[in-house]
Amino acid sequence: MDTEAFIKILRTRRSIRRYDNRVPDRATIEQLIEAASWAPSNHNRQGWKFIVFENRNQLHGLAEQIRQQVREMVGHSNRVAASQADELVHYAGAFEEAPIVILAMHKRIPAVSRELLDQAATPLVSGEAISTAMAVQNLCLTAHVMGLGTCVMTAPLLAGEVWIGLPNLPAGFEPTCLVTVGYPTDQTEPPRRKELRHIFEYRWMLMTEQEIFTKLLPLVRETTGAREDQITMASGLMEDLGAESLDLLDLSFLIEEKFGVTLEADEFERQASQRIPGGEYERDGILTEEAVVELRRAIPEVPPDKFRPGMRKIEVPGVLNVAVFVHLIQRKLAETDTEVSYARG
């Protein structure tokens, strides 16, 4: 199979919630479970179990129990709106529409490991639940290739007491999710997908503070005429290096050419003024007390005493130092839609 054919499988798979009356036979279900079993797992422990429910009466009864418990839960919650509560109750029991329901389970974390996990970035570091989720993905993709529809559901697991009370579930395992399986009644439209630029970034490619300073140094030297040994992160562009307002404008243009980011002339002032809802940023050209406070917060690279009561608005550019521009460029590079590697060229 070539890459495009495989990507097409990924793109055309849908979460299916409506099925016709046909019931997948056991040979088909076992093919799906075998596909799931080929998923990667932490240390190849394969710590998963798959419980298949195929009795429709049992599924209807289970769905009703779950709805009842979820209904009681949301009824005691002050944070769940009535419309949200109805929707949650509905989805908690929606699996009963499927002819086959598979409960995917993962191995419970050993007690000896829980102490270590208290300090971990996430309890998922144990890998059991993630391994089972990858197995479920195998199952769903295989079902799609076979002409079946699937839907992964977690809302039913809100009714913890119901699942704990089910007889003959494997000891030492916890529910991961439900997967409904059946023949779809129709093909749904593809859901909207976020653009790649909204879901990933080359973090390792982001420039460090020192890298930015090194590339900024010749630009500062060109616009101010200062010697390289005079320029530090703490150097005030106007106070220490003798730049004028037009020099700062020239520096912004050079930064745009070198780093591929755009710096607005009043960027910090706009940021500070937005933090004063209903208040004034300046009055007759003089910064208000609120503005002085917010500028200190917006530009922490500048010593706080540089923003003083009675300061004129036109004096703000005069206190900016090299560190302000370094950190602003760093933030812009992280936010920009432009390929970050451009900045390293």
- Reported as a single tens digit per residue, the pLDDT across 53-103 is 999 999 999 999 999 999 998 887 776 666 688 889 999 999 999 999 999
DSSP 3-state assignment of 219?
helix
Q: What is the pLDDT of residue 340?
A: 41
Tell me: the pLDDT tens digits for 258-307? 988 888 767 777 777 777 766 688 889 899 988 898 889 888 999 999 99
- Report the alpha-carbon distance of residue 23 to residue 182 in Å, rounded: 6
What architecture is the 203-344 domain classified under in CATH?
Answer: Orthogonal Bundle (1.10)
The CATH H-level (homologous superfamily) assignment of domain 3-182 is: NADH Oxidase (3.40.109.10)
Output 213 or 196, whichever has higher pLDDT: 213
Q: How large is the average pLDDT for residues 167-176?
A: 94
Tell me the pTM: 0.63
Q: Is the pLDDT of residue 343 over 70?
A: no
Output 343 or 229, whichever has higher pLDDT: 229
φ/ψ bin of 87: left (φ > 0), alpha (ψ from -120 to 50), beta (otherwise) = alpha
Q: How confident is the model at residue 7 (pLDDT cuts 50, 70, 90)?
A: very high
- Report the alpha-carbon distance of residue 316 to residue 307 in Å, rounded: 8
Q: What is the pLDDT of residue 255?
A: 94
Q: Give Cα separations from 327 to 52, 105, 208, 239, 333 (angstroms).
A: 55, 47, 10, 19, 10
Contact partners, residue 55, CB within 8 Å, separation at least 6:
none
Domain boundaries, the chain: 3-182, 203-344
Q: Give Cα separations from 89 to 104, 124, 134, 153 (angstroms).
A: 21, 27, 27, 13
Write the DSSP symbol of residue 44: G
Sign of the alpha-carbon dihedral angle for 156, 46, 34, 165: negative
> For the chain, what percent of residues have pLDDT higher than 90?
63
